[in-house]
Amino acid sequence: MSELTPELESFIAFRLGQLSERNEHHKFEEIATRIARKRISSNILVSNGPVSAGGDQQRDGESYTTRIPDEFPNAAGFAASASTSPVVIACTVQRTGLRAKVLADLEGICGPGAAPVDIVAFFSVSSIPEATSHDLQRIARDQYGVTLDIFSGAKIATLLAEPDLVWIAQHYLEVPAVMVPDPEGVAVPEWYATVLDGLRSNHGPAALTPATQGEITEGIRFATWDAAANSDLPEWADFMSAFLRDELSSDLVFRACYEISVARFRGLGEATDDLVRRAIGIACSSARADILEDCATLVSYWGNMWFAGVSSASAPEIAEARAKLIAHLTAELETTNSSEYPVRAATLTGTMAYLMLTPKVEQAEGGGYSPTKVERDRLAGVSLVDAKVDTSSAAESGLFDLNSVMAYLDQLVDLLPRARAYSVSSIARIFTLFTPALASDPRYTKVRDALDGAVAAVHGDAAIAQRCRDRAIAFVEAGQPLAALGELHDAKVRWFHGDLIYGAVLVTRFIGHLYRDLGLTYAAKMYASAAAMFANLSTDADTKAQLPKALLDSARAAQLAGSWIDAAGLTEVALLAQASLATDPFDIDKYPELGTHELNELMQYLAVRKFWPDLEPLFEAEHPNTGLYEQMVEDASQPGNEMPFDEGAFQELARGQFRGPVLSDLGPNRVIDFAALGVRWVFTFDADRTTVLSAEGFVAAFQVFIADAARYDPVIVEDTVRVHIDVIASGTSVVEPEGDSADMRVTIVSAMADFDELVPFLVAGSMQLLQEVHARPNDELAELLENLMRDGISHKVVVGRPYYEVADFLSTEHYERCAAATRPASSSDFAPTAHVALVASTRLGRGYDRAEALTLIEQRYRAAEAWKVSLASFFADPRGLDRFLQLRGEGWLDWQFIVAFVNVGLNWRLRQSGANIRNLAPAQLRQIAMRPEGNTDSPVPVDVFLREIEVNLAIQTAVIAGTWKLRSRPEKRGEGIMRNLLTRRYRFAVDDVPHRDILACLDGEGRFLPIVE
């Protein structure tokens, strides 16, 4: 069953209910008779006579006599579905008194003088309880000797959603074509062959009715995508073209234009410009929401025909048609009372959102794009997979009005609570497709959650988890792994219950892969280990088969972290699980991930064998059962398998490939060293089993935390933070500064299994570490934490069980062997590099105001004019000029030099006057600083400037930082941490105003000219 089917059924049920509200009995008679002709007997016709006059004697439809089934017992089509038993159809749109209504109709149908009847089929818009139905069927049998079949409520909606009946819903209930699922199946079905043979025998449709068009629609759609049937497509298009006659109703003509255009373009790669024009003309004079919705799809296809080079239409013509449809939709939307007609309003609003996501061909042409004309689109007959469609550049392309898209989607989701019959599947799919382009909009989260909620109401959490995964894939394809993680964590939660645990295991492994790619190897190891735990606990064979794969993921994360001996031990566990759970467990062709992983370990073994042979027994100890060590020894002895580097070259190569120091798991103290957010994070801890598992668990949670925090672009200084982790048996877990230094100490109580205690500590501890490098006010840090809590950080830093449980695969003896060994001295030169998504941000920092910055810069230049004598003296001295040129070479701007120069001069004046700066108000200080020097004044000595300029540059950097509310922090001389931050985030090395070159401010007579006019 297609995922669209439940929503289609809901929409049909809603539209059936409206027939009752409007007392549209005759329309329901038509619907019931059409169903009966397909499901009961083909020889049924609608009865004549007004209902109010009782002219049809309670018979809304009945069969006519035919002997064909007896005469042609092996015939197909009509003869096969006709009945020789008298059949009567009765129907009602009333909502109450249904039992009495059925009994009254039975009495009339079976009364004295009535024509004979064997079967009565009763159709009701409203549902009739099963118990009531069974009682009525008993009465029909006992009192009247007839068979009574009752079709009511949801049963009718289910029938009308079936492929060969859905045309009835489209015609009589105005169901949009986009809601109708495409035909499913790989073989040409019997119905397809039957309909096609009938059309061929009759040289086309026998009657130009909605029913016939519905059958042809089903066939043409099937042939569009089915490889075996695609060759029939021209024939189907010819059959459908019979409905293009001017004398037919406009909706039949529109449907013909739509189906032929879509089929010929998507199935044959051809354009049908004239049919598209005709369809748009019909739609722009129609008020039917379903026609307008399908026309929007057709306009999108027309643009794609142009881009593909198969359309003869010009870009301006397509743009004009799009604008015309938008104008008509806007008018229809403005005249629709959303309170009275919420479903119509939602349909029109969703259509507008979709139209805004159709590319503006005129913009593409204006930007220099000119499609190469071809006879046939190369993608004809190819069903595009959404995950392979790259929309990451949509925001920058200028081809889409994304702001309008989100505005209409925002309106749409506000309508959804009242428009429950509106099908959101199509617009939700398109939204997912454009996720990378739309995610930066502030309305994104609201729209995403509302669409997900609407889909979940029909399809359940599994459908939402699938959409989260699809959005994650779109983000990954667009190079946005942090956004992908957010979607995957949502999917993990929705899949995390019994019948969906297989999906939870897969998505947990996927999350681990993303953390691994981001260089957050301990977060990756935690998620891989958790996936292994979930798989191991499952009784489902497919889920259990994920166990060795997840264990290999964990081993790979350890390899990349530089923990090679841990990785070898985990590999042994994974291989044992593989041998236990898989068929042909070590067939590399069947399980290529095994070959890749073993090759990685072989390369590590070769390095140890050549550079640190005393460590080789560690590999042997980790592989006591699987024979992998013996295999590596044999492979290492083969000619050509020698390590081709010396130790230095190998370590240099390793620094580019690994995310931690080589053999970081050796020695009495372990080290975890990685980079993220522009910060180098170095964690050290003892190497015993309890400490390692507790410390790795904290680091894993912290890596998850900073990946989430990075999405909010906090203002962080580039620095190194060193953290030592102690694990104690009892007491209190804390994070605190390490004495008077900038280093930190984390104390963890071992085996903290209470989630109410563990999770808050991990989150709070991570927050404290981030606070060490966060440069903005603390209220922004609190806001960041609030956002992370809203996003579910609590269920991300721990996965199911504490890290020391899910990752506890190795023995105490393993940790003792590692602690007793010595880490290579050359590993101490390791310097981590961050993934591009986690490098120091260069986006404009929070609080920055360009206009304010430029105003302050201009004021600072003007301040220089008060010091013209000292400036002239300074530049006239070769030492002063050399120092100024040196500062310029270091990247200091002229206004920054001026600020430092004025500060040096101010301090000199204060010293000369004997004034105490503590006794002067700011206004007095400004007055002293701005007092113009006269031509007879003595300049500030050049030696003073040379001696004090560097300190004052650092001071003015701190002052500028304060302007943007950046927290001051102690720095060593020459570190330049705050200057670096200002340069990256606050345009400190960029912002300037037009000004005269300071070196050109002296005229020929030695007079100082204004720097800014």
The reply to whether 138 falls in a domain is yes
Neighbouring CB atoms inside 10 A of 220's CB total: 24
Task: Judge if 164 and 76 occupy the same domain.
Answer: yes
Domain of 967? 850-1000
pLDDT value at residue 973:
72
How far apart (Å, rounded) are the C-alpha atoms in residues 213 and 605? Answer: 70
- The domain boundary, picked from 159, 179, 199, lies at 179
Question: Residue 251 is inside which H or E element, if any?
Answer: helix 250-262
How far apart (Å, rounded) are the C-alpha atoms in residues 52 and 642? Answer: 97
Task: Judge if 776 and 887 occupy the same domain.
Answer: no
The reply to whether 734 falls in a domain is yes
Residue 798 CB burial class (10 angstroms; 0-12, 13-18, ≥19): buried
How far apart (Å, rounded) are the C-alpha atoms in residues 116 and 69? Answer: 19
Task: Judge if 18 and 133 occupy the same domain.
Answer: yes
- The domain boundary, picked from 149, 179, 209, lies at 179
Task: Judge if 820 and 950 occupy the same domain.
Answer: no
Task: Judge if 960 and 818 occupy the same domain.
Answer: no
The reply to whether 380 falls in a domain is no
Task: Judge if 810 and 908 occupy the same domain.
Answer: no
Task: Judge if 808 and 932 occupy the same domain.
Answer: no
Three-state SS annotation for 715-775: CECCEEEEEEEEEECCCCCEEEECCCCCCEEEEEECCCCCHHHHHHHHHHHHHHHHHCCEC
pLDDT value at residue 51:
39
Task: Judge if 834 and 872 occupy the same domain.
Answer: no
- The domain boundary, picked from 808, 841, 874, lies at 841
Task: Judge if 837 and 872 occupy the same domain.
Answer: no
Task: Judge if 718 and 773 occupy the same domain.
Answer: yes
Regions of the chain where pLDDT drops below 70: 1-3, 42-43, 46-84, 183-187, 383-390, 392, 394-395, 459, 461-462, 495-500, 739-742, 752-755, 917, 1005-1006
Q: What six digits make up the tokens of 989?
A: 């090395």
The reply to whether 496 falls in a domain is no
Neighbouring CB atoms inside 10 A of 43's CB total: 20
pLDDT value at residue 211:
84
Structurally, the chain folds into a number of domains equal to: 3
Three-state SS annotation for 376-431: CCCCCCCCCCHHHCCCCCHHHHCCCCHHHHHHHHHHHHHHCCCCCCCCCHHHHHHH
Task: Judge if 996 and 886 occupy the same domain.
Answer: yes
The reply to whether 890 falls in a domain is yes
CA torsion 423-426-431-433 (nearest 10°) is 160
The reply to whether 126 falls in a domain is yes
The reply to whether 333 falls in a domain is no
Rg, C-alpha atoms of the chain: 38
The reply to whether 110 falls in a domain is yes
pLDDT value at residue 75:
34
Neighbouring CB atoms inside 10 A of 440's CB total: 12
Task: Judge if 11 and 154 occupy the same domain.
Answer: yes
pLDDT value at residue 547:
94
Q: What six digits make up the tokens of 102?
A: 């059925």
Domain of 51: which CATH number? Answer: 3.40.1350.10
pLDDT value at residue 781:
92
